[in-house]
Amino acid sequence: MSDSEPDNDLLDFLRQHFSKASIASVPETKVLEGAEYVYHNSIDVALDSQSTIAAAAMIYEQMQKKQYSTKTWQSHDFHPQALDASTVDFIFTMDLLNFSFWSENDEEERFAIEYQGKRCTGYKSLVAALQRALEEGIPITSSDFWQSEDECTIDVLRHVFRSATAEEIPLLRERFDCLQEAGEVLYEKYQCSFTKCIEAANHSAAALVNLLAENFTCFNDVFPYENRKNVRFLKRAQICVADLWAAFDGKGYGEFHDIDGLTIFADYRVPQILNSLGCLWYSPLLQSAVNQKKVIESGHSWELQIRGCSIWCVELIRREILRKHPDANINAILIDFFLYDLMKEREAAGQEDIPHHRTRSIWY
């Protein structure tokens, strides 16, 4: 064989080697990578380094004081307590429908669910509505139910989400479509069970996030930004995995060896609290739009900057906490849970001095 001729045996060996290496590669969601790109190319949202460092110290101190952990998840009103497949089904249903609860109406007039003597709004209204439906014998968490054109209708879903006020739940039709699509995908690919999706991910949080985004269009939260065609936010896909991890305390259906690789879930409340803490700064035009509660269209540059910079900001907070406290048992998920609860506490106490941005979409 001359020097100019290819060594086919060597080429075959290399092909097999790199093919195996590719198969064995660690899954990545690429959410953090996209968020960093948005941050570096953002002109309307900026991060304040000193406020971020101060926020990291406050967050760590408060999380230690409140003993924040996965167990905090089960302490929330109406979250399921059973450590079995019924909770898996509940969480999947919940995160299929976990989006867009904000209202332009006053607190007394906005969409709300009355359940067990409490009036619930926002995310809690979703959890309460699902629990109420199950008590009424409506199998709202069953994919078999979602597939039945006779049983699962838009009117049935309207009944499930019947409000204590005159305002209907936002995007009811879109929620109905999410359930129908999920039912079809589970039937065609996963033996009608979300537990099969979890098994397919082989205890990888990133793999399960990617599986959700690739197989269910309603989880594929991806947008073009500047010169990048696909910036992945994957809010609901990530929070679905995080909810499993928290509900099962990192065991059984919630066991993921790479859970610390997930980011925060870019929505309304985390940007709001980061803005309140001085970590996120908005351009005058954007700040004015937020203060006036103007609707920002889904996919608008402002919205993508808010979401991307929020993810990157909390990543810097996480790194700062671990720099000061290397042994801290902390990740972006727990920081997200804490910041969300903190903002809701401030809201309940009338300390919501800065509004959240308004974007109506299925992504959050």
Q: What is the DSSP string of 51-87?
A: HHHHHHHHHHHHHHHTT-SGGGGGGSTT-----SHHH
User: Exactly one of 267, 336, 341, 353 is catalytic; which is it?
Assistant: 267
DSSP 295: B
Phi-psi region of 355 (alpha: psi -120 to 50; beta: other; left: phi over 0): beta
Instruction: Output helix, strand, coil percentages for the chain, rounded to the nearest 5.
Output: 55, 5, 40
Cα(40)–Cα(225) distance, rounded to whole angstroms? 12
- C-beta of residue 243 within 8 angstroms of C-beta of residue 94: yes
Cα(186)–Cα(197) distance, rounded to whole angstroms? 8
- C-beta of residue 316 within 8 angstroms of C-beta of residue 246: no
Q: Which residues contact 173 (CB under 8 A, 6 or more apart)?
A: 154
Q: Name the residue among 279, 179, 259 with its Cα closest to residue 219.
A: 179
44 is catalytic: no
- C-beta of residue 113 within 8 angstroms of C-beta of residue 132: yes
- C-beta of residue 97 within 8 angstroms of C-beta of residue 176: no
Three-state SS at 113: strand
Q: Which residues are catalytic?
A: 267
